[in-house]
Amino acid sequence: MAAQFSNSRYLNLQKEFRSSNRTLDFDHIYVIHLDYRTDRRDRLDEMASYLGLDLDYFSAISKHDGNVLRNYGSADMDLSQKACYLSHYVIYKQMIYKGYNSALILEDDVDFELNITAIMADIHHDLPPSWETLYIGSCFESMGEQVGKSSSVHRLYKSVAPMCMHAYAVSYSGAQKLIELLDPMVPRGTIDYSLSVVISEGKVSSYSVHPQPIVQWKSVDNPSDIPKSQSLSFNLLNSTLRFLGHNT
């Protein structure tokens, strides 16, 4: 009975916000997606339909695009890592070309809190106008100084040294900086490490949401497309995938 009440409460809460915002208060939502991973797209489409989100699937550069990738990255990065790096970098350039003031960038293996729209409305209230990157999902990060006075569960903090890039946003000025700072011809390492370094150096104004309201749902039967990546598992308070009947 309690579970039914909880599901009903979050369903009604989500309906309250779904008509007002389909991009979580950003100009655009990109999903970096390998075209052959139709299993992931099917799940994302189902969640987007329920949550009322508009997603733009960006065809990721593949590790099989050897002719392109051999010109980028370092010897320490394999083709999958180079492809991931370049996919994110190309989105920064596309943001500038299309004139988006901000964009949320997702990888295609994410799960959302059921009330993600309400959470992000609260986060945007505290987010300073000068922000350049915003980690809505991250890993291996300690909490920095809290920003704002929100008493909600999900709060905004100054970024410390965030890793993982399954759910983060970039502003227009942030994209301009990242194009210069993360030149794929001379990377410092993988894309998440390279971005974490420039944030730690104070070159990018970055904030993080803790606890993260968007997580990865990798499982034994859904491994990462990047062989060397560590399989991580994070819990949500109210998983959209579980609400829709999926095991994660």
pLDDT score, position 220: 47
Q: What is the pLDDT of residue 55?
A: 97
Residue count (the chain): 248
Give me the tens of pLDDT residue by residue for the chain, a chain 248 residues long: 344 444 555 445 444 444 448 999 999 999 999 999 999 999 999 999 999 999 999 999 998 887 778 778 676 888 899 999 999 999 999 999 999 999 999 999 999 999 999 999 999 999 999 999 999 999 988 889 999 988 899 999 999 999 999 999 999 999 999 999 999 988 989 999 999 999 999 999 999 999 999 999 865 455 555 445 454 556 899 999 999 999 76
Report the predicted TM-score, pTM, of the whole model to 2 decimal places: 0.86
**What are the residue ranges spanned by the domains of the chain?**
2-243
Q: Is 161 within 8 Å of 133 (Cβ atoms)?
A: no
Whether residue 237 contacts residue 212, with contact meaning beta carbons closer than 8 Å, is answered with no
pLDDT score for 143: 87
CA distance 159 to 220: 30
The CATH T-level fold of domain 2-243 is: Spore Coat Polysaccharide Biosynthesis Protein SpsA; Chain A (3.90.550)
Cis peptide before 129 (omega within 30 of 0): no
197 CB-contact burial (10 Å; exposed 0-12 / middle 13-18 / buried 19+)? middle
| Phi, psi torsion values for 149, nearest 5 degrees | -125, 30
What's the CA gap between 156 and 159, in Å, rounded? 9
Phi/psi zone of residue 245: left (φ > 0), alpha (ψ -120 to 50 degrees), beta?
left
